[in-house]
């Protein structure tokens, strides 16, 4: 089966050469650690040869993209606070149902051009399909057909991304980091303050009529590993009080 066939879920990472959470740069000699025929190893070899990226970023983008692509297909991919933009490339490679992707960041890192050249050289069908937009993500217009993704948009940036996706009724997948926490959050004696923030985010999506999937990427890759995936449904937005869904609905009183 073709390695980009959407119906074949991307396999879990099965090898453990090196610490997947390492910030050490992947260099060309490290390519020998990724000898497999699967798409992950293929991408890893290309990233190693591009000689520009920490190992952690490779694994983070892969773990985020493959989980997101199990749920969200088609549409333009919008990688917000993209940094290097690897997530945008992986979204297209794992599931080639999207015509194009944009990677948006206030600052374009030098490694983006290196990565883009390496990916297009290896997968010529990607040529011209990933565009880097250097600018503030708030200025990007979103559409209901978009698939918005973001890995580690710091603090409130993740909330802005969720707000923008909700306003456009676009599908969204975020891996939050650098939580701005509230010592007086009403649930703080039940759960960690950063978890309160992400629970509120999930609830906000549900209240807006989204179907939500809460997932984890491996903690060995990053401790900021909560992945929040939301697909818009046809249900009208609800008041948060009514948004608990079938999971929390109590059985009828006897
Ligand atoms: C922690 S980095 C994450 C980068 C990348 N997604 C990753 O996974 O490595 C956060 C990024 O947000 C970008 N950023 C901060 N404020 C932004 C804004 N208003 N619009 C677009 N990008 C922004 C920064 O330039 C930085 O690249």
157 CA to middle of ligand 1, Å?
A: 8
Neighbours of 58 (CB within 10 A): 23
Which residue minimizes the CA distance to atom 6 of ligand 1?
82
DSSP secondary structure code for residue 172 in this structure: E
Rounded CA-CA distance 127/124 in Å is: 5
- Residues in contact with ligand 1 by the CB-under-6-Å rule are 57, 60, 81-83, 104-107, 136-137, 151-154, 157
Give the mean pLDDT of 7-33. 76
Give the mean pLDDT of 60-78. 98
Q: Are 134 and 105 in contact (CB under 8 A)?
A: yes
CA distances from 115 to 24, 48, 93, 96, 252 (A): 17, 10, 14, 19, 56
pLDDT tens sequence across 115-147: 999 999 999 999 999 999 999 999 999 999 999
Band of pLDDT at residue 52, cut at 50, 70 and 90: very high
Band of pLDDT at residue 249, cut at 50, 70 and 90: low
Band of pLDDT at residue 253, cut at 50, 70 and 90: confident
Rounded CA-CA distance 168/203 in Å is: 18
- pLDDT value of position 218: 96
pLDDT tens sequence across 193-211: 999 999 999 999 999 999 9
136 CA to middle of ligand 1, Å?
A: 9
Domain ranges, ordered by start, for the chain: 55-243
103 CA to middle of ligand 1, Å?
A: 10
Ligand 1 atom with the smallest distance to the CA of 61 is 8
pTM score? 0.90
pLDDT tens sequence across 86-121: 999 999 999 999 999 999 999 999 999 999 999 999
Give the mean pLDDT of 74-93. 98
Band of pLDDT at residue 245, cut at 50, 70 and 90: low
Q: Nearest 5 degrees, angle CA 86-CA 54-CA 41?
A: 65
Calculate what percentage of the chain has a pLDDT beyond 90. Answer: 85
Ligand 1 atom with the smallest distance to the CA of 178 is 1
39 CA to middle of ligand 1, Å?
A: 26
Ligand 1 atom with the smallest distance to the CA of 137 is 20
Q: Give, for ligand 1, the residue of 65, 83, 176 to mutate: max count of ligand atoms closer than 8 Å to Cβ.
A: 83
Of residues 117 and 244, which shows the higher confidence score? 117
CA 153 to chain centre: 10
Whether the pLDDT of residue 247 is over 70: the answer is no
Rounded CA-CA distance 31/33 in Å is: 5
The CATH architecture that domain 55-243 belongs to is 3-Layer(aba) Sandwich (3.40)
Of 119, 218, 212, 219, which is closest to residue 171 (Cα–Cα)? 212
């Amino acid at each position: 089966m073709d390695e980009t066939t959407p119906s074949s879920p991307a396999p879990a990472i099965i090898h453990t050469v090196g610490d997947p959470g390492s910030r050490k740069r992947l260099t060309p000699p490290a390519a020998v650690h990724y000898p497999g025929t699967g798409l992950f190893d293929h991408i890893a070899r290309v990233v190693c040869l591009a000689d520009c990226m920490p190992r952690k970023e490779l694994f983070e983008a892969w773990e985020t993209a493959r989980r997101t692509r199990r749920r969200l297909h088609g549409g333009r991919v919008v990688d917000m606070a993209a940094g290097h933009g690897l997530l945008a490339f992986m979204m297209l490679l794992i599931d080639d149902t999207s015509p194009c992707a944009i990677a948006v960041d206030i600052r374009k890192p030098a490694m983006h051009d290196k990565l883009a050249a390496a990916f297009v050289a290896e997968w010529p069908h990607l040529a011209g399909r990933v565009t880097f937009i250097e600018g503030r993500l708030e200025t990007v217009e979103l559409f209901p057909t978009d698939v918005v993704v973001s890995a580690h948009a710091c603090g409130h940036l993740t909330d802005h991304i969720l707000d923008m996706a909700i306003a456009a009724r676009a599908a969204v997948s975020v891996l939050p980091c650098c939580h701005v926490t509230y010592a007086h959050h009403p649930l703080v004696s039940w759960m960690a303050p950063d978890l309160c923030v992400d629970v509120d985010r999930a609830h906000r999506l549900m209240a807006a009529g989204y179907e939500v999937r809460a997932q984890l990427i491996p903690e060995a890759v990053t401790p900021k590993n909560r992945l929040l995936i939301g697909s818009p449904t046809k249900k009208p937005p609800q008041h948060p009080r009514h948004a608990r869904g079938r999971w929390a609905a109590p059985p009828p009183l006897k």
